[in-house]
Amino acid sequence: MIPIPPQVLIFLAKYGLKILAVLAIIAALYYTYHKIDRGGFDRATALYESRDAKDTIKAANILESAKKSVADKAKENDNILIGVLTHNDEQIKNLIIERDAALARSVRVTTKANADRGNTMPRKAGILKGDDSGGEGSCDQELASDNKQKLVDAEYQIARLAELHLSCVEQIERTHTLK
């Protein structure tokens, strides 16, 4: 063994217990600080993780609500556009029927004339006879002004509604895929 000098032994005898007491206090403080610090860290970590979990659930609920809102709005827009298209389709069909009826009534008139040339039936203004032989024939009649206006209005409405119909279809194609 190594011989310990007597001065060290005297120093240790005089201050040894005090040194041991200080080292014991330092060890106890270190252990307590570490234990307290670690416990506080664990509690803070648990608190933040709990808060983050709640925030994640709230964010998922908000996202789901927003997705549902967007889907509902898209469905509402689809229903509006389909309603407009259906209405336009009905209007176009009605206007075409009205135009065709006006054309059928107004463009050609079939008449029967007497076979005898000596008969002088009064002619209506604006009617030109198709043949002067006095037999059965057809003649062209000028459209009445109110029928002309109806025909022009019907053509305009058909064109306007067709354009609106096509713009609605384009809108649907831009926003969704038609099913």
> 115-135 pLDDT, tens per residue?
444 445 444 444 444 444 444
* Residue ranges of the chain whose pLDDT lies below 50: 109-111, 113-119, 121-140, 178-179
Distance between CA 20 and CA 26 in Å, rounded?
10
Q: How many CB atoms lie within 10 A of CB 161?
A: 19
Q: Quick one: CA dihedral 14, 19, 20, 22, positive or negative?
A: positive
Would you say residue 1 lies in a domain?
A: no
Q: How many CB atoms lie within 10 A of CB 139?
A: 15
Would you say residue 96 lies in a domain?
A: yes
Total structural domains within the chain: 1
Could you tell me the pTM of the whole model?
0.40
Q: What is the 3-state secondary structure (H, E, C) of 12-68?
A: HHHHHHHHHHHHHHHHHHHHHHHHHHHHHHHHHHHHHHHHHHHHHHHHHHHHHHHHH
Would you say residue 55 lies in a domain?
A: yes
Give the pLDDT score at 128.
Answer: 47
Would you say residue 45 lies in a domain?
A: yes
Give the pLDDT score at 72.
Answer: 92
Would you say residue 120 lies in a domain?
A: no
Domain containing residue 96: 7-115+125-175
Report the candidate in 80, 70, 75 with the shortest Cα–Cα distance to residue 168. 80
Q: How far is CA 80 from CA 17, 75, 174, 175, in A?
A: 93, 9, 15, 13
Would you say residue 154 lies in a domain?
A: yes
Give the pLDDT score at 177.
Answer: 56
Give the pLDDT score at 59.
Answer: 93
Give the pLDDT score at 105.
Answer: 67
Find where tokens 């000098």 sit: 5
Give the pLDDT score at 93.
Answer: 83
Give the pLDDT score at 106.
Answer: 61
